[in-house]
Amino acid sequence: MIAYAPGRPIADDELRAHLSEALSRLDVQGKRILAIVPDDTRTLPMPTVFETIATAVGPRARSLTVLIALGTHPPLTEDGLARHLGPHWRSFPKVQVLQHRWDEPAALAQVGTIAAEEMEAISTGLLRVEVPIWVNRAVLDHDLTLLVGPVFPHEVVGFSGGHKYLFPGVSGPEMVHASHWLGALITNPKVNGHRDTPVRAMIERAAEAVPTPRVGVSLVMRGPDLVGLFVGEVREAWAEATHLSAEVNIVWAEQAYHTVLSIAPPMYRDLWTAGKCMYKLEPVVADGGKLIIYAPQLREVSVTHGKWLHEVGYHVRDYFLSQWDRFRNVPWAVLAHSTHVKGIGTYRDGVERPRIEVVLATAIPEEVCRRINLGYQEPTSVQPEALTGRDGVLVVPNAGEMLWRLRSGEVPDIGRL
């Protein structure tokens, strides 16, 4: 394995050199190579990575395909692809770019099944359901797959990256729904930033069913800067990246805050993705406190799942579990997102009590916010500069990738199911 983490930001020319060296060691001559990469809701130097892979692998390979792991996110537009992959992305004639379509059966192939009994064991008794393992057909149509992407603390699986780019990155809907709901059952504070979780075990089990050989290219970012590159066996490269990511992407707070202003970056274009501004800061909001997602540019609840979310709204986990017959047929990833944004809380005797209040200061109208059971604040009334430095108030620019935790080690808890 090649590991490069110099303890400072890595310049683009260094990234090209070290990534080219790692790729030069791979046996790609005359083979069909697939590179699975994230979409534009993740921070990484994607143009440099794309061009380096195209240059180092393309000439030696029989073919090179880049598959964007959208999960259930909408496809990128032509302009979006140019911004994400770089202005020269069409300059490599041997490189084909595809975008995953989770909702097109013809794009998927089944490679196995996780039996209900096995899921029960993996989930420590939380979820007993059979999960078919569907993956994008392109994975099976190639001789080697590169899993390329950053490793951040993550609300569903613990840390992103590695085989998560297969499941649910380029998987079918069953894996999307089961993995997200399992993470929601455990709850965000107990999953986020933990390396070995039941959801990670589920993903690794699904990956065992994929016959195509794989290599991991795991990157670690600190804000806009690349600080680590790990290339090798997928699990090993990912594990090394998690150690560094835990050091640079977890902020240890000395106190809980009664008000947190979480400022969403422009790469989050709907609440489905901007929800990360809640997930990464929930642990440091005091009981009874308030978290404001500040995103004046944000107009959509969810491009893909908006219909369901407008119907279901945002609620704590136990709201759904206490009325399971009513909600069991709602897509589970929708329920998971709903509970993650609302945060942990209780539902007893017909009364829902979230631990904290979540407020949207966005272009989503107040009437919609109230109807989906979230708070509302007029975005023009928010003044980040005036709030910065106030006692008990935390203002976080570019939220969504850095995980905040209390140094005391206390994790908000509503009890185990």
The topology under which CATH files domain 251-406 is 2-enoyl-CoA Hydratase; Chain A, domain 1 (3.90.226)
| pLDDT mean over 386-400 | 96
Q: Which tens digits make up the pLDDT trace of 249-281?
A: 999 999 999 999 999 999 999 999 999 999 999
pLDDT at residue number 409: 74
For the chain, which residues make up each domain, given as ranges?
2-248, 251-406
Q: Which residues, 6+ apart, have CB-to-CB distance to 46 below 8 Å?
A: 37, 38, 40, 84, 85, 86
DSSP assignment of 282-300 equals GGGEEEEEEEEEEETT--B
pLDDT at residue number 412: 76
pLDDT at residue number 49: 98
Whether 20 has a pLDDT exceeding 80, the answer reads yes
Q: pLDDT band at residue 282, thresholds of 50, 70 and 90? A: very high
For residues 153 and 200, what is the distance between their CA atoms, to the nearest angstrom?
12
Is there a contact between 241 and 247 (Cβ–Cβ < 8 Å)?
A: no
Q: Which tens digits make up the pLDDT trace of 180-213?
A: 999 999 999 999 999 999 999 999 999 999 999 9
Is there a contact between 235 and 224 (Cβ–Cβ < 8 Å)?
A: no
pLDDT at residue number 410: 72
Q: Per CATH, the architecture of 2-248 is what?
A: 3-Layer(aba) Sandwich (3.40)
pLDDT at residue number 181: 98
| pLDDT mean over 78-105 | 94
The H-or-E segment that residue 127 falls in is: none
What percentage of the chain has pLDDT greater than the value 70?
99
Q: Which tens digits make up the pLDDT trace of 62-90?
A: 999 999 999 999 999 999 999 999 999 99
Whether 415 has a pLDDT exceeding 80, the answer reads no
pLDDT at residue number 94: 87
Whether 222 has a pLDDT exceeding 90, the answer reads yes
pLDDT at residue number 408: 86
